[in-house]
Structure 1
Amino acid sequence: MQLNLASSIEPFVQKYLRIPVFYVVPDPNWALGLEEILPWYAVVCADDSPTVDYLQGKGIPVFCVQRDLPELFFDFKRSSSSLLRLPEVQDFIRETSRGEQPRIMVFKTSPALEKAAEDLGYHLLAVDSRLNRRFEDKISILSELEILGQGAIPSLIGRVSDLSYAHLNKSLGDRFVIQFSRGFAGNSTVFIASEDEFREFARHHQERRIKCSKLIRGQSLTIDACVASGGTLFSHYFYQIIGEQEYNRFAGGTSGNDYAYDFRFSPAVDEHIRSLVTAMGEYMKKQGYRGIFGLDMIVDNETEQVYIIEDNARLVASIPVFTRLQTLDSEVPMALIHLLEHLRIPYELGAEAYNEQLWHRRQASQLILRNTEEDDIFFSSCPQSGIYSRGGAFKRSGCSLQEAAAADEFVLLASSPGRSIGSNIEYAQVQRPCGIIGSDRTMSTETRALVQRVKDMFQRKAAVL
């Protein structure tokens, strides 16, 4: 069946997707986007938030550990595999599935998650965890890019004790970037600007294996892409907010995206980006990959060379917002295509026409607020999620940019009180129907003031031990 226009989505899903799909994820905000598309959709999450009420108000069944099993919540490991192992969750899935095989959608797979799904007879909608690790590992991706023959930043790999600053300085320059193989929200990236800094780093990590890369001075961007049966699908690139330590405690950490930012790249750079994404997608497809992935890239200011920083071989944090933006623009959501690929449901979609349809900037942005302290924090009071005026006044309920039509409004997705927020863990999202990064690549003063008003709405007390 042809699937080229948003008008064709409803008859398609009614015919082929009347099956139970469960998004199993710690944070319910990650499950947003598909609730108004899939006819048989349910969510299993760990954290309570107003998003749970929003989903239930849409008729979506939700099992929330913090709400439904409060006695277990504070000792509960926040992972999808742990969620699936709970007997109460299994009962919820069985009752909601009504005899059909449950299909399990996850943000990121793991061996433990695969084992849980296999033991329980669930159909896991994700690539093999070994394939995910192969591409997402920040060290091994260098080998993949070298095989691809393009996109690799000049780098050296080795154990810290075997690397000298003099050699790294000679090979990579005065400043370089160190990455461990795995990390989250920037905690595996370290910037080195002197021998003293490297010596201090080495003192703590002698036996660790690392990748040291040349520091590229340029504009960082990210692209949502999908390995599909008809080719590699991809969005227009958008600005990746990095280094805002007011919102992420790590210098290399990301804090959201600006979909409206105008990079003003030349047509040659545009074409280089498109060809590199396509080449990476086709290479991943040959290795057995299918579905959504995200590429973080950087364009050198001087040479206009395009490099791949990371390949996030999984669903990515921008997908919930991007799905809503695609719906607003009457596009077939990439998240839906991701599901079709993992369900092996045949469909017709012209990749070239689809990519042209998506190749435009969008008037939207998302800023993620994280706990920037080393210790946990505990909120005794949190603001209500919903639509707010620019001045910080609550206007009405809502969880998406579809419901914040005015330029002077924003969406706030806030955590609920009563849980401990770990170091660098997200506690709120601010979404705006406009850009927030200026041409000088700095966040506007008006946006900073708005976000400060949001942060002031959270009342905290000493961390729970």
Structure 2
Amino acid sequence: MSLSDALQAKLNERPLLYVSRDPERGLGLELTLDNIHNIHVTDSYYREYFDKLGVEYFCFAEHSDPGSLTAETAARVFASSEFTEYLNTKNITDAWVQTFKVSGRFEKAVTAKGFTLLNTSGELNRSFEEKLSQTHHFAAAGTDTPRMAVIMLSEHDYATLAAGFGSAFVIQFNRGHSGNATYFIDSSAAYDSLKQQFPSRSARISAFAEGLPYTLNACVTDAGTFCAGLSYQITGVEGLTDDPGATIGNDFSYRSGITDAVKESILANIERLGAYMHSKGYRGLFGIDMIVGDRVNIIEINARQPASVSFHTRLQLMHGQVPLSMLHLAAFTGIDHGLSVSDYNRAGLEPLNYAQMMLRADESFTAGSDIAMGIYRLLSDNSAIDRFNNEVVPGTVFLDEDQDKPMILQHKTYAIEDTREYPGVLILTPRKGTVIAEGNEAVRIQATQGLIGSDGKPAPWSIETLISFARQLH
């Protein structure tokens, strides 16, 4: 029996409820496995496709004033009377439950329902994800990292730290202050300013690692740690984010600096780190961020489902691979799939000719236009004008003021696999009236090609496309 069939047998017994704020987090397997319910907070265009395709879902925004949703969490939705009514309507008395990032509050909400949670505990999640405890885990696992330590800012000066970590180093706190938890320090003035703000806070200090940023998805199981989806981490692109350290996308095809020796180092680190996490009781999806230069430096553990997993799941299915998201479910439901860790992981480092990139809002705003989510194609200027009435063809977004470069809607969809029938790029947009908070995703592009050029920069047309769609949203 295939893993897909084995999982379906489990889901025939009781449904899987994927609970998150954003419906996109729970996507990937909804057209492959039946009886998955997408439970989410925010309204979106996804609902139209769920209705069309028969995907089960509960959208809390349908039952609440949209203006009150900014403070809602997955845990509150799960505990709400509206969701209880949904369960009763669907006759759900027992279920598997999965969420994007688990919390103690969510665990309690699941337990109160008598359901089974398919996530590692919130306590373990915090232990591996928070910067200070993560530093100790890196050392205990024998992970290759930049030189790092936990310090109290008030007990050190710049000169002493620079002598041990280099003239440029990184300071990170467990949690952010005004959205920022990472500081790049390259002078005594910069360090003293931070020390004055947070004299009594402990922080992680790391030597600045030179190289290119990559990220990798992985899954801890009793059979070993599986990994796939090595991608170049697109960060800090001017015009797409105001934060130079913000991640805005992944290019699964870009492989600059990824030699055979680098691949072996990545696999060795994943094996050591995964075995250590398993020994502490961790199971399921996680991700690592790394800098690839003269050596591989692991700089972060994301002890939860990585943000790229839903997109990467679709890519794996398109290429006949077993998705990591299925291995996560198997790890928690006791399915023995018999896959070879070594074979899977080596294949998982190979490039896939796809990429995604987003524009993050530079200030909070409410989407003021309806721009269809779907596949768009850059066509000639004549294609954008209806020759019978001389009006702009519906579903057209111009990339320039002269209206010479129209992106024209070819097919409404949310799924990258539809590009096999309708050539173009997939544009994911918010529904009119959606409140986009500062720093959050406003619009995303997914492409069946790499977006990073040989110069290490995104293709100008991709930046232009995102900016133009975001401008029209306003």
Scaled by the length of structure 1, what TM-score is found?
Answer: 0.91
Deviates more, 1:415-424 or 1:278-287: 415-424
Count of residue pairs the alignment pairs up: 446
Distance 1:241 1:384 in 2: 25
Q: 2:56 aligns with which of 48, 61, 65?
A: 61
Is 1:92 aligned to residue 81 of structure 2?
no
Q: 1:381 aligns with which of 361, 369, 383?
A: 369
Question: Deviation of residue 2 (structure 1)?
Answer: 5.0
Is 1:204 aligned to residue 194 of structure 2?
no
Deviates more, 1:308-317 or 1:206-215: 206-215
CA distance change for structure 1 residues 236 and 305 in 2, over 3 Å: closer, same or farther?
same
Other-structure match for 1:428: 443
Other-structure match for 1:345: 335
SS of residue paired to 1:255: strand
Distance 2:463 2:441 in 1: 17
Please give the residue correspondences for 1:10-21 in structure 2 after superposition, counting only pairs within 5 Å. 11-18=5-12, 19-21=14-16
Distance 2:437 2:466 in 1: 20
Contact 2:218/2:287, CA 8 A, preserved across alignment: yes
Amino acid paired to 1:16: K
CA distance change for structure 1 residues 449 and 409 in 2, over 3 Å: closer, same or farther?
same
Question: Deviation of residue 445 (structure 1)?
Answer: 1.6
CA distance change for structure 1 residues 54 and 2 in 2, over 3 Å: closer, same or farther?
closer
Question: Deviation of residue 105 (structure 1)?
Answer: 1.1
Q: 2:94 aligns with which of 101, 115, 136?
A: 101
Question: Deviation of residue 444 (structure 1)?
Answer: 1.7
Amino acid paired to 2:329: L
CA distance change for structure 1 residues 123 and 335 in 2, over 3 Å: closer, same or farther?
same
- Any idea what the Cα deviations from partners look like across 1:335-389, whole Å, max 9, x if unmatched? 011012122233322222322333310111011222123xx22222241111111
Contact 1:256/1:368, CA 8 A, preserved across alignment: yes
Distance 1:334 1:438 in 2: 28
SS of residue paired to 1:104: strand
Please give the residue correspondences for 1:413-424 in structure 2 after superposition, counting only pairs within 5 Å. 413-424=428-439
- Any idea what the Cα deviations from partners look like across 1:310-353, whole Å, max 9, x if unmatched? 11111110001100000110111110110121222333222223
Question: Deviation of residue 151 (structure 1)?
Answer: 1.5
Please give the residue correspondences for 1:400-411 in structure 2 after superposition, counting only pairs within 5 Å. 400-405=415-420, 409-411=424-426
Question: Deviation of residue 168 (structure 1)?
Answer: 1.7
Please give the residue correspondences for 1:154-233 in structure 2 after superposition, counting only pairs within 5 Å. 154-183=147-176, 187-233=180-226
Other-structure match for 1:397: 412
Contact 1:186/1:254, CA 8 A, preserved across alignment: no
Distance 2:411 2:227 in 1: 34
Amino acid paired to 2:131: K
Contact 2:239/2:467, CA 8 A, preserved across alignment: no
Distance 2:26 2:87 in 1: 16
Scaled by the length of structure 2, what TM-score is found?
Answer: 0.89
Question: Deviation of residue 17 (structure 1)?
Answer: 2.6
Higher-Rg member (1/2): 2
Distance 2:421 2:162 in 1: 51
Question: Deviation of residue 95 (structure 1)?
Answer: 2.9
Amino acid paired to 2:286: F
CA distance change for structure 1 residues 183 and 107 in 2, over 3 Å: closer, same or farther?
farther
Question: Deviation of residue 214 (structure 1)?
Answer: 0.8
Is 1:447 aligned to residue 435 of structure 2?
no
Is 1:270 aligned to residue 263 of structure 2?
yes
Deviates more, 1:207-216 or 1:320-329: 207-216
Other-structure match for 2:27: 32
Distance 1:348 1:100 in 2: 32
Contact 1:160/1:207, CA 8 A, preserved across alignment: yes
Q: What fraction of aligned residue pairs are identical, expressed as a percent?
A: 29
CA distance change for structure 1 residues 307 and 185 in 2, over 3 Å: closer, same or farther?
farther
Amino acid paired to 1:350: S
CA distance change for structure 1 residues 415 and 183 in 2, over 3 Å: closer, same or farther?
farther
Other-structure match for 1:78: 72
Contact 2:146/2:298, CA 8 A, preserved across alignment: yes
List gaps (5 residues or longer) in structure 1.
Answer: 4-8, 460-465
Amino acid paired to 2:249: G
Contact 2:370/2:432, CA 8 A, preserved across alignment: yes
Question: Deviation of residue 421 (structure 1)?
Answer: 1.7
- Any idea what the Cα deviations from partners look like across 1:62-111, whole Å, max 9, x if unmatched? 21122x12326525523211111211012213432x24412111000011
CA distance change for structure 1 residues 155 and 264 in 2, over 3 Å: closer, same or farther?
closer
Contact 1:132/1:314, CA 8 A, preserved across alignment: yes
Question: Deviation of residue 135 (structure 1)?
Answer: 0.9
